[in-house]
Chains A and B, each alone.
Chain A
Amino acid sequence: MSTSREWVGRRLGTVPGGGEDGDGAFQVVGKAMPRVDAVSKVTGATVYADDLSFPGTLHCVLLRSPLPHARIRCIDVQEAAGLPDVVAVLTGAAMPTRFGVSPSSEEEQALAADKVRYVGEPVAAVAARDEATAREACKMIQVDYELLEPVTSIDQALEVPMDEPIHAASKDGNVHRLASLEFGDVDEGFAASDHVREDVFFYEGSNHLAMEEHSATAIFSDGQLTVWSSTQSPHSVHRALSSVLGLPMRRVRVVATPHGGGFGGKVDPCSHEIVVAKLAMITGRPVKCTLTREEVFYNHRGRHPVLMWVRTGVTQDGRIRAMHFRTALDGGAHASLGAATTYYTGALQPATYDLPAYRFEGCRVFTNKAPCGPKRGHGTPQPRFALELHLDKLAEDLGMDPVELRRRNYVRPNSRTVNGLRITSCAIEKVTDEVLAASGFSRRERRDGHGQGFAVSAYLCGAGTPMYLNRMPHSEVSLKVDRGGVTVFCGATDIGQGSDTVLATLVAEELGLERGDVRLVTGDTGLTPVDLGSYSSRVTFMAGNAAIEAARKMRATLVAAAAEHSGSRPAEMTVAGGKIGPLSFEQAVAAAEERYGTLGSVGSYAPPPSISASKYRGSAVGPSPAFSYSAAVVDLDADRVSGEVRVNKVWIAHDIGRALNPVLVRGQVEGGVYMGLGEALMEAQAYRNGLLHHPSVLEYKTPLSSDMPEIEQLLVEQPDPEGPYGAKEVGQGPLLPVVPAVVSAIHDALGVWVDEVPVTPEKILRALDAHAKGSDPRTGPRSFPEIPYPPCEKVALPDAASATL
Chain B
Amino acid sequence: MLRLRVNGETYETLTESNETLLEILRERLGLTGTKHGCELGECGACTVLLDGTPVLACLVLPDQIDDAEVTTVEGLADGSVLHPLQEAFMALGASQCGYCTAGMLLSAKALLDEQPDPTREEIRAALAGNVCRCTGYASIVDAVALAAKAPKGAR
Indicate if the CB atoms of B135 and A670 lie closer than 8 Å.
Answer: yes
Report how far A702 CA is from B130 CA in the complex, Å.
11
**How many angstroms between the C-alpha atoms of A664 and B90 in the bound complex?**
11
Q: From residue A41, how far is it (CB to closest CB) to chain B in Å?
A: 3
Partner of A211, one of B72, B76, B92, B99: B99
Residues on the B chain within 8 Å of A711, using CB: 136, 138
> In this complex, what residue of A is CB-closest to B31?
A44
A673 CB–B CB distance under 8 Å: yes
Cβ contacts under 8 Å, B127 to chain A: 704-706
- In the complex, the answer to whether A47 meets B32 with C-beta atoms within 8 Å is yes
Complex interface bits, A204-247 against B, C-beta within 8 A gives 1, otherwise 0: 00001111110000000000000000000000000000000000
Q: Is the CB of B139 within 8 A of A670?
A: yes
Chain A interface bracket (under 10, 10 to 19, 20 to 34, 35 or more): 35 or more
- Contacting residues of chain B (46-65) with chain A, CB-CB under 8 angstroms: none
User: Once the chains bind, are A1 and B82 in contact (CB under 8 Å)?
Assistant: yes
Count, A-B residue pairs, CB within 8 A: 210
Min Cβ gap A478→B in Å is: 26
Of chain B, the residue at the smallest CB distance from A33 is B91
Task: Check A41 against B131 for contact (C-beta < 8 Å).
Answer: no
Question: Shortest beta-carbon distance, B120 to chain A, in Å?
Answer: 9
Q: Which of B31, B134, B142, B151 contacts A496 (CB 8 A)?
A: B134
Interface positions, chain A 358-382, Cβ under 8 Å from B, are none
Q: Which residue of A lies closest to B105 (CB)?
A: A42
A496 CB contacts on chain B under 8 angstroms: 96-99, 134
**Interface residues of B, count at CB 8 A:** 65
Pair A212/B89 contact, Cβ less than 8 Å: no
By the criterion CB–CB under 8 Å, are B133 and A708 in contact?
no
Chain B residues numbered 120-155 whose CB sits less than 8 Å from any CB in chain A: 123-125, 127-142, 146, 149-151, 154
Contacts of A667 in B (CB 8 A): 93, 96, 134-135, 139
A697 touches B92 (CB 8 A): no
- B95 A41 Cβ-Cβ under 8 A: yes
CB of B148 to closest CB in A, whole Å: 11
Chain B residue at smallest Cβ distance from A734: B136
Contact, CB under 8 Å: A210 / B150: no
Fill in one digit per residue for B66-106: 1 if any A CB lies within 8 Å of its CB, else 0: 00000011101100111011111111110111111110010
Chain A residues with CB under 8 A of B97: 210-212, 259-261, 495-496
Chain B residues within 8 Å of A596, by CB: none
Is A5 positioned at the interface, with any CB of B under 8 Å from its CB? yes
**Minimum Cβ distance to chain A for residue B70 (Å):** 13
**Given A260-B98, A293-B37; A705-B32 close (CB under 8 Å):** no
A51 in contact (CB, < 8 A)? yes
Tell me if A263 and B133 are in contact (CB < 8 A): yes
Q: Which residues of B contact A162 (CB under 8 A)?
A: none
Looking at A2, A12, A48, A697, the one whose CB has the most chain B CB atoms below 10 A away is A697
Binary B-proximity of A43-86 (CB < 8 A = 1, otherwise 0): 11111101100000000000000000000000000000000000
Chain B residues with CB under 8 A of A44: 31-34, 72-74, 101-102
B15 to chain A, nearest CB (A): 14
**How far is A51 from B35 in the complex, measured between Cα atoms in Å?**
9
Smallest Cβ-Cβ distance to B125: which chain A residue: A706
A7 contacts B135, C-beta separation under 8 Å: no
Tell whether A413 is near chain B: CB-to-CB under 8 Å: no
Alpha-carbon distance A210/B74, docked complex (angstroms): 23
Contact B133 A675 (CB under 8 A): yes
Question: What's the least CB distance linking B82 to chain A, in Å?
Answer: 6
Q: Tell me, rounded to whole Å, the shortest Cβ–Cβ distance linking B150 to chain A.
A: 6
Residues of B within 8 A of A675 (CB): 133, 136
A42 (CB) vs chain B CBs: closest residue: B86
CA–CA, A44 and B89, complex, Å = 13
Contacts of A293 in B (CB 8 A): 37-40, 42-43
User: What CA separation (Å) do A371 and B37 show in the bound complex?
Assistant: 21
The answer to whether A705 and B45 touch (CB under 8 A), given A48-B99, A664-B93, is no
Pair B96/A671 contact, Cβ less than 8 Å: yes
Q: How far is the CA of A696 from the CA of B40 in the complex (A)?
A: 9
Chain A residues whose CB sits within 8 angstroms of the CB of B137 once the complex forms: 674, 704-705, 708
**A-side contacts of B128, CB under 8 Å:** 704-706
Residues on A with C-beta less than 8 A from B86 are: 42-43
Q: Known: A44-B102, A666-B93, A705-B127. Contact between A208 and B80, CB under 8 A? A: no
Given contacts A1-B82, A43-B82, A708-B124, contact A211 B35 (CB under 8 A): yes
A292 within 8 A of B: yes
Which residue in B43, B99, B101, B124 is a CB contact (below 8 Å) of A706? B124
| Chain A residues near B149 (CB-CB < 8 A) | 7
Contact A211 B82 (CB under 8 A): no
**Interface residue A88 (Cβ < 8 Å from any Cβ of B):** no
Do A7 and B105 have beta carbons less than 8 Å apart? no
**Residue A491 is within 8 A (CB to CB) of chain B in the complex:** no
From the candidates A2, A8, A46, A666, name the one contacting B81 in the complex (CB within 8 A): A2
Write the nearest CB–CB distance from B142 to chain A, whole angstroms.
8
Contact with B along A7-23 (1 / 0, CB 8 A): 11101101100000000
Chain A residue nearest to B74 in the complex (CB): A44
Chain A nearest CB, measured from B101 CB (Å):
6
Of chain A, the residue at the smallest CB distance from B23 is A131
Q: Are A670 and B138 touching (Cβ within 8 A)?
A: yes
- The residue among A35, A45, A706 with the most chain B CB atoms within 10 A of its own CB is A706
Residue A39 at the chain B interface, CB threshold 8 Å: yes
Q: Are B82 and A42 in contact (CB under 8 A)?
A: yes
**In the complex the two chains form, is A704's CB within 8 Å of B131's CB?**
yes
A671 / chain B contacts, CB cutoff of 8 Å = 96, 133-136
Q: Interface readout for A497-516 with B: 1 if CB under 8 Å, 0 if not?
A: 11000000000000000000
Q: Are B72 and A8 in contact (CB-based, < 8 A)?
A: no
Given contacts A704-B128, A705-B141, contact A42 B101 (CB under 8 A): yes
Asked if B96 and A497 make an inter-chain contact with CB atoms under 8 angstroms apart, the answer reads: yes
Q: Contact check, A210 vs B133: say whether CB atoms are below 8 A apart.
A: yes
Question: Is residue A4 within 8 Å, beta carbon to beta carbon, of the partner chain?
Answer: yes
Task: Please give, as numbers and ranges, the residues of chain B lying within 8 Å of A260 by CB-CB distance.
Answer: 35, 97-99
Which of A213, A664, A672 touches B37 (beta carbons < 8 Å)? A213
Expressed in whole angstroms, the Cα–Cα distance for A40 and B142 within the complex equals 20
Residue of B nearest to A210 (CB): B133
**Chain B contacts of A259 at CB under 8 A?**
97
Contacts A1-B82, A42-B86, A698-B42 given: A212-B37 contact, CB under 8 Å? yes
A3 at the interface (CB under 8 A from B): yes
In the complex, how many angstroms separate the beta carbon of B126 from the nearest chain A beta carbon? 8
Task: Give A51's nearest chain B residue, CB to CB.
Answer: B32
Q: Which residues of chain A come closer than 8 Å to B133, judged between CB atoms?
A: 208-211, 261, 263, 671, 675, 702
The reply on A751 being an interface residue by CB < 8 A is no
Contacting residue for B136 out of A12, A498, A708, CB 8 A: A708
Tell me the minimal C-beta distance from B36 to chain A in angstroms.
7
- A498 vs B90: C-alpha distance in the bound complex, in angstroms? 13
**Residue numbers in A under 8 Å from B93 (CB-CB):** 15, 34-35, 663-664, 666-667
Q: Does A38 contact B (CB under 8 A)?
A: yes
Per the bound structure, the CA–CA distance linking A687 and B124 in Å amounts to: 32
A165 close to chain B: CB less than 8 A: no
B131 touches A292 (CB 8 A): no
Question: Does A258 reach chain B (CB closer than 8 Å)?
Answer: yes
Taking CB as reference atom, which chain B residue is nearest A5? B87
User: Chain A nearest CB: distance from B45 CB in Å?
Assistant: 6
Residues on B with beta carbons closer than 8 Å to the beta carbon of A38: 89-90, 95
Residues of B within 8 A of A495 (CB): 97
- The CA of A667 and the CA of B95, in the complex, are separated in Å by 9
B33 and A39 within 8 A (CB): no
**By the criterion CB–CB under 8 Å, are B72 and A42 in contact?**
no
B136 and A673 within 8 A (CB): yes
Contacts A/B (CB < 8 Å), 19 sampled: A1-B82, A3-B90, A5-B150, A12-B91, A34-B93, A42-B90, A44-B74, A50-B36, A210-B133, A211-B99, A211-B132, A259-B97, A260-B97, A697-B37, A697-B43, A705-B123, A705-B124, A705-B127, A705-B140
Apart from A38-B90, A41-B89, A41-B90: 16 A-B pairs, beta carbons within 8 A: A11-B88, A12-B92, A40-B98, A42-B101, A44-B33, A211-B37, A211-B43, A212-B35, A260-B35, A260-B99, A261-B97, A263-B133, A496-B97, A667-B93, A671-B133, A671-B135
